[in-house]
Amino acid sequence: MDEAARRERLGELAPDKLAELEADDQEDEHVLPDLPNAEDGAVVMRAAPNPNGPWHVGHARMPAVIGTYKERYDGEFVCRFDDTDPETKRPDLDAYDAILEDIAYLGFEPDRVLRASDRLETYYDHARELIDAGGAYTCSCSGDEFSELKNAGEPCPHRDKDAETVREEFAAMVDGEYSAGEMVLRVRTDIGHKNPALRDWVAFRMIDTPHPREEAADHRCWPMLDFQSGVDDHLTGVTHIIRGIDLQDSAKRQRFVYDYFDWEYPEVLHWGHVQVDEYDVKLSTSTIKGLIEDGELTGWDDPRAPTIQSMRRRGIQGQALVDSMTELGMSTSDVDLAMSSVYANNRDLVDDAANRYFFVRDRDDAPAVELPIVDGDAPAPEAGHPPLHPDHEDRGDREVPAGRVLVESPDLPSEGERVWLKGYGCVRYEGDALAFVDADIEVVREGDVDVVHWAPAAEGLDTLLRTVDGDVRGVAEPALADVDPDTVVQFVRVGFGRIDGFDPAATDEADGPNGSEDLLAYYAHP
């Protein structure tokens, strides 16, 4: 009795038990824990990326989790670009769209998209209001000076400035009358607070470098994350904030501002950092950017790059990444994401649709071997006809010409031994040729011969397969020429990959590192 039948039977015998079982199943579908104080239809969450480059795989976690909760609570997904640092983490103008594309690839679409750099006047207004409420003061201490006082729990001399001076000095900040480092606006918190991280933090500072966005290039007075993000979260109606443990103290800092404004602070959840195994490259936008600039990586979508764009180009479904990310849960400890988990999820999604094709690798340590197939015990057929998919005969089969063929050297049997060319038949290796034996599948069923993939030497496509471990050259069967780019296929006994491009004009002579192959493919995983 299979699962469905068993359930049906249970439904007849004990309907209440079945209902219980199904209720449990519902529970189980929720990989993520429930959100605290979440009301259906009244949940607003935001992803707040700094657009200083395209996303790495770790970034997928935020949209994956927010998107999942959005669906569960019929909530809202706000994407707010926190691009308030034109200098140190300078925004990259292409990154805004790149990030939105990354989110779309993951299968989500933000309900609202905001840019903090569009909202400076709003932040200034709130700063003025905060000053009027006695919650902020301008300060011209150097960073070191203030740090020393702060660590001792001592106020700096500017703390007791009269409100009028603060107003004037802040107006001058907004007008850009100071240079970087000359003046900041601090939030008056509690200079003796037991946690030094919370004492009178900076809300606005001067930056001399113009913002890359033309619309914001005139501003010199920029809010710090805690101020900008705190104000925006309230103004956009965010009910649940999810962020990394590096921002653990942010909520505590922002609460001082919220208290001045008499706002209610949203629910906050923190999670740990995500590490991804399998990559030597550090998971950081600036590190990856550096590697690309140094030529170590060919771009953000280099198969060796731990980026969303790379996953996409390799044919890994955004959903696979989302599944893996939600499986990480919401723990505050650091987690290691195993790429094998992403691969397993992707295999699940892709296996049924991916048609099968042969690709014979030609590697230094395992070169492809070219041999003619000759008549042996029986006349050799002209071609093999393996199915496009073993579970879907209805999709038909491919034609693989079989005059001179290539096989991978480790697949070659000892001289005199037989091997089964998949979709073709049994051949005997005779040193300089493969002699056709027969097409009686019985030898395979009995386990007497190994089954290997192969490709025609002349008609095959010179192929470049780009993998995480470097580029692999080889020859693929000609049927791949009819496959549309962007299709995910399975290279039999090699693994899944995505067809990137086909160039029928490519000639045999023009073998170079780029653009010379007939076929370009990206490798996903086994």
Binding to RNA (CB under 7 A): which residues in 178-197? 180-182, 184, 194-197
CB of 81 to RNA, least distance (A): 8
Residue among 20, 71, 87, 440 that touches RNA (CB under 7 A): 87
Tell me if 99 contacts RNA by CB under 7 A: no
Q: Is 65 helix (H, G, I), strand (E, B) or coil?
A: helix
Cβ closest to RNA, residue 56 vs residue 453: 453
Measure the CA–CA gap between 52 and 88, rounded to whole angstroms: 10
Closer Cβ to RNA, 89 or 128, answer by number? 89
- Distance separating alpha carbons of residues 481 and 502, to the nearest angstrom: 7
Q: How far apart are CA 198 and CA 3, in angstroms?
A: 56
| 488 touches RNA (CB under 7 A) | no
Which residues from 290-319 bind RNA, rule CB under 7 A?
none
92 binds RNA (CB under 7 A): no
Task: Using CB under 7 A, pick the residue from 105, 222, 260, 300 that binds RNA.
Answer: 222
Of 14-22, 260-268, 372-380, 388-396: span binding RNA (CB under 7 A): 388-396
Contact 195, 175 (CB under 8 A): no
Parallel, antiparallel or unpaired: strands 240-244 and 267-271: parallel
CA distance 518 to 75: 47
* Helix count and strand count (H, E) for the chain: 14, 27
199 binds RNA (CB under 7 A): yes
Please identify, using beta-carbon distances, which residue of 262 and 394 lies nearer to RNA. Answer: 394
Interface with RNA in residues 110-149 (CB under 7 A): 140-143, 146-147
| From 47, 65, 85, 357, residue interacting with RNA (rule: CB under 7 A) | 85
Q: How distant, in Å, are the alpha carbons of 370, 381, 473, 506, 512 from that of 509?
A: 18, 30, 15, 9, 9
Residue nearer to RNA on the CB measure, 302 or 467: 467
| Contact flag: residue 246 with RNA (CB under 7 A) | yes
Under rule CB under 7 A, residue 209 binds RNA: no
Tabulate helix, strand, coil % of the chain (nearest 5): 35, 25, 40
- Please, which residue, 37 or 147, has the CB nearer to RNA? 147
Q: Which residues 32-61 are close enough to bind RNA by CB under 7 A? A: 33, 48-50
470, 324 Cβ separation under 8 angstroms: no
Token pair for 502: 């086909």
Contact flag: residue 328 with RNA (CB under 7 A): yes
Q: Which is nearer to RNA, 298 or 409 (CB)?
A: 409
Q: Is 152 in the site for RNA (CB under 7 A)?
A: no
Please tell me the distance from the alpha carbon of residue 97 to that of residue 80, in angstroms, as a whole number: 12
Residue 136, phi then psi, degrees to nearest 5: -155, 155
286: Cα within 13 Å, side-chain hemisphere: 5
Q: At a CB cut-off of 8 Å and minimum separation 6, what does 286 contact?
A: 52, 53
Quote the CA–CA distance of 390 and 489 in Å, as a whole number. 13
Phi-psi bin for 131: left (phi > 0), alpha (psi -120 to 50), beta?
alpha
Furthest-apart CA atoms within the chain: distance in Å: 104
Q: How many residues bind RNA (CB under 7 A)?
A: 84
Quote the tokens at residue 313: 């180009």
Taking the least distance from each CB to RNA, the nearer of 302 and 400 is 400
- Which positions from 440 through 469 interact with RNA, judged by CB under 7 A? 441, 444-445, 447, 451-453
Q: Decide whether 23 or 510 has the Cβ nearer to RNA.
A: 23
492 binds RNA (CB under 7 A): yes
Per CB under 7 A, the segment of 160-168, 220-228, 399-407, 477-485 that binds RNA is: 220-228
Nearest CB to RNA, comparing residues 302 and 342: 342
**Hey, which residues between 404 and 443 contact RNA (CB under 7 A)?**
410-411, 420, 422-424, 439, 441
Within 13 A of 336's CA, how many CA atoms are on the CB side?
5
Looking at the Cβ atoms of 38 and 506, the one nearer to RNA is 38
**Burial class of residue 95, CB neighbours in 10 A (0-12, 13-18, 19+):** buried
